[in-house]
A and B are shown apart, each in its own frame.
Chain A
Amino acid sequence: MKRRQFIAFLGGAVALWPTWPRAQEARPVIGFLNSGSPEQYKMRVRAFFQGLGAHGYAEGRNVSVEYRWALGRYEQLPALAADLVRRRVSVIATTGGNPAALAAKAATATIPIVFQVAVDPVQAGLVASLDRPGGNVTGVTNLNLEVGPKRLELMHELMPNATDFALLVNPASRFVAETLSRDMPPAALIFGKRLHVLRASTERDIEAAFAEIARLKAAALIISPDSFFTDRARQLAALSLQHRVPAAHNREFVEAGGLMSYGGNLLEVYRRVGEYVGRVLKGEAPRDMPVQQAATVELVINLKTAKALGLSVPLALQGRADELIE
């Protein structure tokens, strides 16, 4: 009898060997909110997914992405953001500037948001402080607003004798426009330049702006960081060549034929955004993730455009450039 009981006990112990049930998780969804259009942002989006992949997530395999492109029309951003919130995405990645980030922040206080902006997030009202964002918002800044004066300086180096420069802003991106309009003219004065601020929110505005530049006889144009302008890189480049106005903007602009680009390496920035999104998906809270800044700032000069514009790029500037397109 004892023997039988013992064997029964053994059998029971083996049968009760725990098999852990696999937890079935719902696949997370990333809301990708961008002020621009897909074509121009292709490389950056790829960098974003590179960063996401560092945490083991791949689109289609274990995460899905809902894209919302405002196509340069910022007034649509709040509606697009609300739509993403309604779909109950796991995290919203807003790329392409602070209008998208602000729209997302206004739309939800619970869904985590990871932004990519050119502004100072604290001043723009996105986070409480850089090292402790608080709330549900965090992200990466690309310093493009900060380097505004530097762009002036570089342009000044190119054209030391000019007297008038122009600055193109997009009033739809209110914070950027206001900050630049306020800070750039005094900075330009230091270099002995008068800075004319021009506004454009649509394609037609851009053409009008260039006409104005011609009228003002401005020697060069600084284009403010803005996704609408990024979208219109080709148009801006073409107009710049057409009106023979050297302009400085971002990499897409230079690749499209513009003269100069100075600013954070956006591919790196987007990669960092992707990494942050990965971490949020893994469970980290944005309130504990400090805002990152772009680690590298690059100068890209299109020598072909320079020749077309009849400019000779000084050796110092060439030496300083991180990339020269010929």
Chain B
Amino acid sequence: MPKTLFEKIWDRHVVADLGGGFALVFVDRHVIPEITYNRFRELESKGLPLRHPELTFGVSDHTVPALWAALEKPDDRSNEFSRGMKAASLKYGFHHFDVDGPDQGISHIVAAEQGIALPGTTLACVDSHVCTVGALGGISWAFGGSEIVHVLATQTSILRKPKTMRISLEGAPAPGVTPKDLTLFTIGRVGAAGGLGCAVEFAGEAVRSMPMEGRFTLCNMAVELGASFATIAPDEAAFEYLKGRRFAPQGADWDAAIADWRELVSDPDAAFDRDVTIDVSGAAPQVTWGISPQDTIPIDGVVPDPADEPDVQKRRAMQAGLDHTGLRPGQKIEGTKIDFVFIGSCTNNRISDLREAAAVLRGRRIADGVTGWVVPGSLRIRAQAEEEGLARIFTEAGFNWGFPGCSMCGGQGNGFTERLKPGMRAVSTINRNLPGRQGPGSITHLASPPMAAAAAVAGRIADVRRLGG
């Protein structure tokens, strides 16, 4: 019986069939953000031990401050959440990538960077963007906070076996079009519920030729398709990325591992419940106009008219999007005045993202009246960006150069202070433009790092391809 890549990994991890399409699935790696440290108290109060400390990893990301300026004690980024997670990590003996160590960063960045996420493995995290690490050829899923205790106590999750869906991106992207643009382009076509309940495998020429870091961006936003899982068949790019990373297999183990991982592909005649092919060769840089990631248009496009939408619910949703963003049907999106630019989040704050944004900003200044933040994904990425001179380009352009954390994506950073003010309009490299995502009453336009940099320079939503010299 031919199997998809997802089914192969799933079958390897089923502990028990629970019936009705549900299974008890083993968690190879469990990543826990500091904001949920209280779940260890819950574990203790139930009188349960931590079943597999060696498979448990704490990360400080959701609440940590990104900018020194807002701190009471500028030499200490710790807070009650990080201290709570640290105490739990010492008590139970698991790794915690804390603000005082060299490897702190956003969960999904750290999981990849440290070789915690691996091909053929399962990884669980309370954060819905954990699908990011499926780009390495494993499967990963998210759940609500109380499920953390379930995983701590049992090292398993109760999951409904999803439908399978393949999204093949074919064609060569045009110059100036980044993986983020292809991601938004794809969501625009498949829709915010297009992958609902599915395990998505991204395939096709444009994915195979996409650098590893771009694949993380693509898989990061699979949840914005409604997908439960995202994965990409692991190949040389994935192996090269992982080789030598701290928790990845080493030496003879490495050879055994990649021999196994090379087998991790969907069988040629495997059937997917849904199979979608998208030609990306015509995709332009994208920007969103509404309040769903599916509300995306090319930068040289115009805001769509709800009156053209025959479906009443969709029409209302479009109108709600326009009501929130204050844009008019038929209006060009380019030229819309902005207040803020945020380059960061688990979607787009890897070194390649920072390089691409810095390339646009080199020798340029952020426009008057616009505030810009760059928040790298991990302390390692931050250090590398400083070594490569990128940090200097950002600060000379007038950007604030931050420390790693979720920060302005989700608006919980530093005690909910890292958020936009009501009415502010931002171009952000994050993954969600839902109302209030970056602060109550604020407006978010999703875009790629170079597009965000171009907007910062222009003070308006701008086409990075036409930014004058």
- Do A and B truly interact? no
